[in-house]
């Protein structure tokens, strides 16, 4: 059907960075190749993107990384954590959900129609469930040789449609793709 949003009216978007060789992190999760390059990056569009979503959905991996930050970066944003292991969260406006169905039901009940899906595993979960609509990828000008691939193994190819491309600062490029869904 080549839908621009899911059947339930939800639009789910990812906003990621990779190396030129397609890794989102080193094998141990390290992001040193990415951070520290941002000084002259300019406007990546992230702030506008973040402001446009009604909620953020992430997994425990991202939760545990963000938990260590000195400052909570998602103030004022509704946040859903998809995790079978996290007991609870003390973050404001945040809830823990044991299943993707529960996440979707909660979003529908709250009338949230646009979500930012973050974290490699959660993005993959949405992608494999046919629920990811849009991917913005910023490519850092570096080869790191090995690491965690963008989405990991897929059941089949996922066709994308390029909707925007631009050059950021510091040698970064950015492309936005719409995920093309097969007829269902």
Q: Give the residue, chosen from 9, 42, 92, 141, that forms a contact with a second copy under the rule CB under 8 A.
A: 141
Using the contact rule CB under 8 A, the part of the chain among 6-14, 51-59, 81-89, 144-152 near a second copy is: 144-152
Closest CA to 83 of 104, 63, 53: 63
Q: Would you say 142 and 22 are in contact if contact means Cβ atoms under 8 Å apart?
A: no
The yes or no reply on residue 31 touching a second copy (CB under 8 A) is no
Give the shortest CB-19-to-a second copy separation in angstroms: 8
Give the shortest CB-152-to-a second copy separation in angstroms: 7
Size of the site for a second copy (CB under 8 A): 38
Q: Would you say 58 and 122 are in contact if contact means Cβ atoms under 8 Å apart?
A: yes
Structure tokens belonging to residue 11: 């639009």
Q: Give the residue, chosen from 23, 74, 116, 126, that forms a contact with a second copy under the rule CB under 8 A.
A: 23
Other CB atoms within a 10 A radius of the CB of residue 88 amount to: 9
Phi/psi of residue 124, each to 5°?
A: -65, -40
Residues 6+ apart with CB under 8 A from 60: 81, 83, 85, 86
The yes or no reply on residue 126 touching a second copy (CB under 8 A) is no
Give the shortest CB-38-to-a second copy separation in angstroms: 15
Q: Which residues bind a second copy (CB under 8 A)?
A: 18-23, 33, 127, 135, 137, 139, 141-146, 149-162, 165, 167, 171-173, 175, 177
């Amino acid at each position: 059907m080549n839908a621009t949003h899911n059947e339930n009216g939800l639009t789910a978007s990812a906003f990621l960075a990779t190396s030129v060789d397609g890794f989102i992190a080193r094998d141990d999760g390290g992001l040193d190749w990415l951070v520290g390059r941002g000084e002259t990056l300019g406007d990546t569009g992230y702030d506008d993107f973040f402001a446009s979503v009604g909620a953020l959905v992430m997994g425990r991996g991202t939760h545990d990384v963000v938990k260590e930050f000195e400052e909570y970066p998602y103030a004022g944003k509704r946040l859903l954590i998809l995790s079978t292991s996290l007991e609870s969260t003390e973050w404001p406006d945040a809830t823990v959900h044991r299943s993707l169905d529960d996440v979707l039901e909660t979003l529908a009940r709250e009338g949230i129609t646009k979500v930012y899906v973050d974290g490699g595993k959660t993005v993959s979960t949405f992608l494999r469930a046919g629920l990811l609509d849009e991917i913005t990828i910023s490519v850092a000008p570096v080869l790191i040789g090995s690491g965690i691939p963008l989405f990991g193994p897929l059941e089949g190819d996922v066709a994308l449609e390029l909707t925007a491309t631009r050059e950021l600062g510091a040698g970064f490029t950015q492309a936005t793709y719409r995920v093309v869904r097969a007829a269902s």
